[in-house]
Amino acid sequence: MKEQQLQRRKLTPQQELELVSYIEKLTGRRLPPIREMLQNFALLIVKTNGEQLVGKSWVT
């Protein structure tokens, strides 16, 4: 991945794995996540990076 692309990313590779794990747990419970659930969880994660928001089109 190019350096510029890495700098624009909201989540680190480890945080992406955490998000995937969250999705898999919900799906395993037969509760497929909706967009708002993913945005809320991602927002909690990015706040640990000092970021404030994920964009409206972040989950696509």
Answer whether residue 35 is part of any domain: yes
Answer whether residue 6 is part of any domain: no
Write out pLDDT tens, residues 1-60: 566 655 566 778 888 898 899 999 999 999 999 988 888 888 888 777 776 666 666 665
Answer whether residue 5 is part of any domain: no
Write out pLDDT tens, residues 9-20: 677 888 889 889
pLDDT attached to residue 31: 93
Q: How many domains does the chain have?
A: 1
Answer whether residue 18 is part of any domain: yes
Vertex 24: Cα angle to 54 and 44 (nearest 5): 30
Answer whether residue 4 is part of any domain: no
Expressed as residue numbers, the domain containing 50 is: 11-60
Answer whether residue 1 is part of any domain: no
Answer whether residue 2 is part of any domain: no
Closest by CA to 22, choosing from 33, 10, 35, is 33
Contact, 19 vs 38, CB < 8 A? yes
